[in-house]
């Protein structure tokens, strides 16, 4: 039976990232570490770090397309948000790797 909870890891990562938004690298790194330890393994920590970003981008793709009626606008909005999120994902993934490995 795997240790940890993927849902709680995602919640911890989101909450800590929002609270420590003013620390550009240390905030996501700490959030990833806590989330990786909560997830219980390296693979589940990585999944907890990447999954919310992908879901957000898919929601934005659907919402942008539905609100404008033009799929191109939805795709451009989704890609631009994904690129911004990728910048934050690097320290988050690194923290999740370290946190998942220390369990």
Residue-wise pLDDT for 38-97, tens only, equals: 998 999 999 999 998 888 878 877 887 887 788 887 788 778 887 888 888 899 999 999
- Residue 65's pLDDT is 80
Among candidates 18, 9, 10, which has minimal Cα distance to 37? 9
Residue 76 lies in a domain: yes
Task: State the Cα–Cα distance between residues 36 and 61, nearest whole angstrom.
Answer: 28
pTM metric for this prediction: 0.82
The number of helix segments (H) and strand segments (E) in the chain equals 4, 0
Which value, in Å, is the radius of gyration of the alpha carbons in the chain?
15
Structural domain boundaries enclosing 33? 6-101
- Residue 1's pLDDT is 43
Residue 18 lies in a domain: yes
Residue 1 lies in a domain: no
φ, ψ for residue 3, nearest 5 deg:
-80, 155
Residue 25 lies in a domain: yes
């Amino acid at each position: 039976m795997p240790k940890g909870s993927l849902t709680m890891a995602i919640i911890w990562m989101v909450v800590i990232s929002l609270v420590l938004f003013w620390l550009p690298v240390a905030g996501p790194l700490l959030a990833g570490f806590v989330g990786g330890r909560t997830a219980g393994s390296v693979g589940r920590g990585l999944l907890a770090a990447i999954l919310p970003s992908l879901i957000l981008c898919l929601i934005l793709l659907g919402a942008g397309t539905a609100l404008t009626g033009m799929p191109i606008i939805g795709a451009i909005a989704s890609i631009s948000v994904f690129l911004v999120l990728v910048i934050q994902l690097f320290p988050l993934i690194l923290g999740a790797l370290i946190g998942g490995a220390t369990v």
